[in-house]
Amino acid sequence: MTVGVIIPALNEAGRIGKTVQAIRSLPEVSQILVVDDGSTDETVSEALRAGARVVWHKENYGKGQALRTGLQSMKSEIIAFVDADIGEYADELRKLIAPVREGQTDMTIAVFPAVEGKQGLGIVKGLAKWGIRRLTGFSTAAPLSGQRVLRKELISYLHLADGYGAEVAMTIDALRAGYRVLEVPVAMHNREYGRTLRGFLHRGKQFLHVVRALLERWKDSTELPRPEDSTSSWR
């Protein structure tokens, strides 16, 4: 089964090249598509030099739209989403690919190792975990993880939310449609903003997007049966 990778990116020069190179080292991957979401730096040229195919938005539309753009031209039977700032750790993607290719599950989600030192206050993550549990019955360890692999057939059941609510929406939609979700520990790392002004601004925007994604699905919850037992698991 062929595997295609979609990498949404915004001003990731200095990191995107390493991410693409690490993914290119995986024999399972046949397509790498970077979706540039209005970058003003050298993200596009760096991604091209690293060997990725690139499509770009003339302006910034948000992560959800970047993922939708990528899906429009992805032909592979298995789709992977990877954040642009993962760098050389992106070759850990193979741990997410294997369970899907082998038919053990329909979607895998990366669980990162704990980060040392003070980061955020955990409000956004806590909200996302609570919302997913309330709407699906599944207790997730990584509700906001952008590193995911799924069978392409799931796409028709996923209504990708705008912005940073995309991952939460993806998990809820897949579970509600009856698909299996598996969380897999990996040795990946995102850029950490810590307790800085930039970090709090980022998490503030993330919070609003997660709230919107949950509210959209909450309105539909009375129309959908709630599973008593989740079909998801932890590996």
Within 73-223, where are the H helices? Answer: 94-101, 123-136, 166-176, 197-220
CB atoms < 10 A from the CB of 144, how many? 20
Give domain status of residue 44, yes or no: yes
Give domain status of residue 38, yes or no: yes
pLDDT confidence of residue 193 = 57
Each residue's pLDDT, cut to its tens digit, for the chain (235 residues) gives 899 999 999 999 999 999 999 999 999 999 999 999 999 999 999 999 999 999 999 999 989 999 999 999 898 999 999 999 999 999 999 999 999 999 999 999 999 998 765 555 689 999 999 999 999 999 999 999 999 999 999 999 998 888 889 999 999 999 999 999 999 999 998 766 556 655 556 578 889 999 999 999 998 765 444 444 444 554 4
Q: What is the pTM of this model?
A: 0.88
Give domain status of residue 235, yes or no: no
Q: Which domain holds residue 10?
A: 3-224
For residues 227 and 137, what is the distance between their CA atoms, to the nearest angstrom?
7
Q: Is 10 in a helix, a strand, or coil?
A: coil
Give domain status of residue 229, yes or no: no
Give domain status of residue 140, yes or no: yes
For residues 83 and 124, what is the distance between their CA atoms, to the nearest angstrom?
18
Which token pair is 72? 């429009």
Which token pair is 144? 């906001």
For residues 42 and 13, what is the distance between their CA atoms, to the nearest angstrom?
5
Distances (CA, A) of 92 to 50, 67, 88, 212, 221: 18, 20, 9, 31, 35
Q: What is the CATH number of the domain that holds 103?
A: 3.90.550.10
Give domain status of residue 200, yes or no: yes
Give domain status of residue 188, yes or no: yes
Give domain status of residue 234, yes or no: no
Overall number of domains in the chain: 1
CA 34 to chain centre: 14
Q: Residue 17 in contact with residue 49, Cβ under 8 Å?
A: yes
Which token pair is 193? 């903003």
